[in-house]
């Protein structure tokens, strides 16, 4: 069995995460038992939710254990199998974590899934046709309940979730406005992702200024908002929400370092009769097949053209992850392992 390179969570951050919180190690891969498969990872997914798991705090999932491999989505190839469910050469998506190889109990529900790379590149199963894409689909369909002609806004609009959200919303004849950081990302949002407009939040120092810019591109208000950021951005959008508007809360990356994120206009929830709902997409596995089918078709037909930021080699994962938390990525952040 091959030697495996891994990145462990070595310590918990007290404020912002740092490189010192991670540790690179190598160890021998255990021999396969009956029912297990050996997977060689080709790509590793880096996602904002991982920062929350680094804290030893109550959340919707257990904290990342110290001294253990950092958890995360992976795509790769089955090298060896002692399970009738998989054969060597199968391309698979799973939760192999920050390591080069993983030994997987093939019969465990959700542990490993075969994927077809005929029309969808393997790495896209970590983004547009994976968890981020399904996240966008669920928030759009089941919380925002998008209807033709409505105006929808999404923050972090050029990331894996935001780009999928735009494609899905446009197929439903919605007007879609993005919020992103920097002119290059905003240009990409409108010229390649199909956004009707995109606002550069870095040009605004407070919620009032950002909300004023939003009013210019959403003169009829905002019917639905997909939230990935929180803080000033959430305040700005709430000021523009129409009566009975809906807000799907997927992430609060502005607060992932543990600092409180106050809401400055909570009275708007009552005044505008807003529905605000947080959700965790892994709690809705029943919708994944339908969502993945639609997302796969959008990619295969060129209506969803996601962008990827690719870090090279497992050792680069911690720095790429820290950059992701600061918005330095452009599109879905992945690590290429081979």
The set of residues, in sequence order, having a beta carbon less than 8 Å from that of 277 and lying 6+ positions away, is 143, 246, 247, 248, 249
| Percent residues over pLDDT 90 in the chain | 87
Q: What is the mean pLDDT of residues 22-44?
A: 97
CA 188 to chain centre: 18
12 shares its domain with 100: yes
Q: What is the CATH number of the domain that holds 146?
A: 3.40.50.720
**What's the pLDDT tens digit per position in 131-154?**
999 999 999 999 999 999 999 999
**What's the pLDDT tens digit per position in 38-52?**
999 999 999 988 998
CB atoms within 10 A of CB 186: 23
326 shares its domain with 274: no
Q: Which DSSP category does 137 fall into?
A: H
* Domain housing 199: 131-282
**What's the pLDDT tens digit per position in 121-130?**
999 999 999 9
**What's the pLDDT tens digit per position in 65-120?**
999 999 999 999 999 999 999 999 999 999 999 999 999 999 998 899 999 999 99
Counting the structural domains of the chain, the total is 2
The reported pLDDT for the residue numbered 259 is: 72
Q: Where are the beta strands (DSSP E) in the chain?
A: 3-9, 22-28, 36-45, 74-81, 91-94, 101-105, 112-114, 151-155, 175-180, 197-200, 222-227, 241-249, 275-278, 308-312, 332-336
Q: Are 113 and 92 in contact (CB under 8 A)?
A: yes
**What's the pLDDT tens digit per position in 238-276?**
999 999 999 999 988 776 666 778 899 999 999 999 999
Closest CA to 193 of 174, 209, 210, 170: 170
N residues, the chain: 338
Question: Is residue 297 included in any domain, yes or no?
Answer: no
Q: Which of 56-60, 214-218, 238-242 shows the lowest mean pLDDT across its residues?
A: 56-60
Helices assigned H by DSSP within 139-206 = 160-171, 183-191
Mean pLDDT over the full length of the chain: 94
Q: Are 224 and 247 in contact (CB under 8 A)?
A: yes
Q: What is the mean pLDDT of residues 200-221?
A: 96
39 shares its domain with 94: yes
135 shares its domain with 220: yes
What's this model's pTM, rounded to 2 decimal places?
Answer: 0.91
Task: Tell me the angle at which helices 288-300 and 131-138 cross, rounded to the nearest 10 degrees.
Answer: 110
């Amino acid at each position: 069995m091959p030697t495996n390179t891994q990145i462990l969570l070595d310590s918990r951050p007290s404020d912002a995460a740092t490189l010192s919180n991670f540790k690179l190690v190598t160890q021998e891969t255990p021999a396969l038992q009956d029912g297990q498969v050996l997977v060689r990872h080709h790509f590793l997914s880096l996602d904002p939710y991982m920062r929350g798991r680094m804290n030893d705090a109550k959340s919707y999932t257990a904290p990342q254990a110290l001294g253990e491999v950092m958890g995360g989505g992976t795509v790769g190839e089955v090298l060896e199998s002692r399970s009738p469910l998989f054969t060597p050469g199968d391309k698979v998506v799973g939760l192999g974590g920050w390591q080069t190889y993983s030994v997987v109990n093939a019969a465990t529900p959700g542990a490993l899934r075969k994927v077809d790379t005929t029309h969808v590149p393997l790495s896209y199963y970590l983004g547009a046709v994976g968890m981020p894409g399904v996240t966008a689909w669920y928030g759009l369909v089941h919380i925002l309940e998008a209807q033709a002609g409505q105006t929808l806004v999404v923050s972090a609009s050029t990331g894996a979730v935001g780009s999928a959200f735009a494609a899905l919303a446009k197929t439903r004849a919605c007007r879609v406005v993005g919020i992103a950081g920097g002119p290059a990302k905003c240009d990409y949002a409108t010229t390649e992702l199909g956004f009707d407009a995109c606002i550069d939040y870095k040009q605004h120092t407070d919620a009032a200024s950002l909300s004023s810019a939003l009013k210019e591109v959403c003169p009829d208000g905002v019917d639905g908002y997909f939230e990935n950021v929180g803080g000033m951005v959430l305040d700005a959008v709430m000021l523009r929400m129409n009566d009975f508007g809906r807000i799907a809360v997927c992430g609060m990356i502005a607060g992932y370092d543990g600092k409180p994120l106050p809401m400055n206009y909570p009275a708007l929830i009552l005044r505008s009769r807003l529905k605000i709902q947080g959700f965790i997409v892994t709690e809705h596995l029943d919708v994944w097949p339908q969502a993945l089918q639609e997302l796969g078709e959008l990619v295969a037909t060129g209506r969803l053209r996601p962008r990827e930021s690719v870090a090279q080699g497992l050792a680069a994962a911690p720095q790429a992850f820290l950059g992701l938390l600061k918005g330095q990525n452009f599109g879905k952040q992945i690590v290429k392992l081979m």
